[in-house]
Amino acid sequence: MQKIKVMTIFGTRPEAIKMAPVIKKLCETPEIKPITVITAQHREMLDQVLDLFQIQPDYDLDIMKSGQSLTEITVKVLQGLERVLAETGPDIVLVHGDTSTTFAASLASFYQKVRIAHVEAGLRTNNKYSPFPEEMNRHLTAVLADLHFAPTEKSRENLEKENIPADRIFVTGNTVIDALLETVDADYIFQNKELKDIDFDNRKVLLLTSHRRENIGEPMKNIFEAALKIIRDNPDTELIFPVHRNPEVRKLAFSILGGIERVHLIEPLDYQPFANLMARSYLVMTDSGGIQEEAPGLGKPVIVLRDTTERPEAVEAGTVKLAGTDAGLIYDTVRELITDEEAYKKMANAVNPYGDGKAAGRIVQRLLFEFGLSDNPGREFGR
Ligand code: UD1
Ligand code: UDP
């Protein structure tokens, strides 16, 4: 049988988590020959996801360097992929989301006239610099892509407004929910000593993550100072912050929150302990994109430490609040949830506007249909 060659290209932790369910499905599909390429824009944070989901890349560009610039990432990905694409001749390339790997991989594929399918397409803030550079990475990828796998109806609408033909958009749900459902387990036991010792039943555990480029500097300082005051003023709370490996984030985090009682600055967690930590936390404070999608599914209120979000669905459902990066506003928003049980209950509803755990299956089915290998066009998420 003539198989279609489907190449998946990704480089960072969240792309790997969200592409893992798709790669699994591609590998299970007899009509498809999967080719997995990592740019390794991230290294340790990517490798732990590959280990967890047992993904063995066919090509590893190994581009990461400490304190890398956006230009360095873009140039190295473009150069590295030229040879890989020429050597393997894929029928289609799958990219994910909005990182610099995503955009550069799309551009490299376009240069070789290879079709591009964009997974998690259509998220928009329509603010060029927020998030930076992700908003432009998404726009630029959309312009280059031939097929758009939008996670929600809202993302479909965004693409339609940009004149992407309706028949090039397919709503799948977000693959992050596929990964999450496979990973959270009520009986999970933490290996990390610090997490093992936390009394999740009797303490209010606040989970913090922050890494966005546009927050580095004053906004991130505000975030950490607000977190510090919250912990100091509320003796029944504990703060857990798995600190991203970006050296600038680490410097700020340790200078403000290092050595403080009931503050646990830990290394980035592997996905399995992290997902299970989310499930046991009281609330989540974050500027992450993926965590905004996961935590609502676990019934955890999310305070978003950004001025904009491209993920309005959970805000509308009432489980996510935008607090921005003003220390006072962050403090007041979190404080209310710690002290006002009614306010907490109102936000702590499990909702899943982002997916139903079947997104990867929809993507692969649609690929088969696109290549004439199946008559079944598939059914979209929510329809
Ligand atoms: C990148 C993405 C961002 C995504 C985030 C997920 C871009 C421009 N940014 O941001 O969209 O939300 O990943 O986490 O594509 N580092 C390590 N080890 C690692 C990973 C990172 O040491 O495993 C350090 C390196 O010093 C690296 C720095 O972190 O230079 C920044 O990594 P980079 O990928 O450039 O940016 P992120 O902030 O991680
Ligand atoms: N995550 C993880 N370990 C951590 C922090 C986050 O595995 O210590 C996971 C999280 O569950 C989510 C993804 O990483 O699936 C989000 O990655 P990140 O916040 O770095 O990027 P973003 O989603 O903002 O692009």
Cα separation, 320 vs 173, in Å, equals: 18
Higher pLDDT, 1 or 295: 295
Over residues 216-252, the pLDDT tens digits come to 999 999 999 999 999 999 999 999 999 999 999 999 9
Residue 125 DSSP class: -
Q: What is the pLDDT of residue 330?
A: 98
Cα separation, 362 vs 40, in Å, equals: 27
Residues 154-159 have a mean pLDDT of: 98
Over residues 336-345, the pLDDT tens digits come to 999 999 999 9
- The answer to whether residue 88 scores a pLDDT higher than 90 is yes
Catalytic residue among 139, 168, 213, 335: 213
Instruction: List the residue whose alpha carbon is closest to atom 7 of ligand 1.
Output: 99
Q: Is the CB of 301 under 6 A from ligand 2?
A: no
- Residue 372: is it exposed, middle or buried by C-beta count within 10 angstroms (0-12/13-18/19+)? exposed
For every residue of 29-86, which 3-state class applies, written as one string?
A: CCCEEEEEEECCCCCHHHHHHHHHCCCCCCEECCCCCCCCCHHHHHHHHHHHHHHHHH
Catalytic residue among 118, 211, 280, 362: 211
Q: What is the pLDDT of residue 252?
A: 98
Q: Is the CB of 211 under 6 A from ligand 2?
A: yes
Three-class SS of residue 27?
helix
Catalytic residue among 134, 238, 310, 313: 134
Higher pLDDT, 309 or 2: 309
Residues 295-320 have a mean pLDDT of: 96
Q: Which two tokens stand for residue 219?
A: 């906004």
Q: List C-alpha distances in Å: 258 to 47, 189, 247, 253, 328.
A: 27, 26, 15, 7, 21
Length of the chain in terms of residues written? 383
Residue type, 348: A
Residue type, 383: R
Residues 320-344 have a mean pLDDT of: 97
- Among residues 192, 156, 191, 181, the alpha carbon closest in space to that of 171 is found at 156
How many A from CA of 291 to the centre of ligand 2?
A: 6
Q: Cβ distance 108 to 73 under 8 Å?
A: no
Is 120 considered catalytic here? yes
How many A from CA of 209 to the centre of ligand 2?
A: 8
Q: Starting from the CA of residue 134, give the closest ligand.
A: 1
Q: Starting from the CA of residue 175, give the closest ligand.
A: 2
- The answer to whether residue 1 scores a pLDDT higher than 80 is no
Query: pLDDT-derived band of residue 291, with 50, 70 and 90 as boundaries?
Result: very high
Over residues 28-49, the pLDDT tens digits come to 999 999 999 999 999 999 999 9
Q: What is the pLDDT of residue 350?
A: 86
Q: Could you count the other beta carbons within 10 Å of the beta carbon of residue 375?
A: 7
How many A from CA of 1 to the centre of ligand 1?
A: 40
| Euclidean distance between the first and the last CA atom of the chain, given in angstroms as a whole number | 33
17 CA: nearest ligand 2 atom: 15
Q: Is the CB of 133 under 6 A from ligand 2?
A: no
Beta bridge partners of 93: 7, 116
Is 134 considered catalytic here? yes
- Among residues 103, 56, 59, 99, the alpha carbon closest in space to that of 83 is found at 59
- The answer to whether residue 267 scores a pLDDT higher than 80 is yes
Three-class SS of residue 148?
strand
Residues 87-93 have a mean pLDDT of: 98
Q: What is the pLDDT of residue 141?
A: 98
Catalytic residue among 15, 98, 178, 313: 98
- Among residues 316, 281, 287, the alpha carbon closest in space to that of 301 is found at 281
How many A from CA of 212 to the centre of ligand 1?
A: 9
Q: Cβ distance 94 to 6 under 8 Å?
A: yes
Percentage of the chain modeled with pLDDT above 70:
100
Q: Is the CB of 17 under 6 A from ligand 2?
A: yes
Q: Is the CB of 268 under 6 A from ligand 1?
A: no
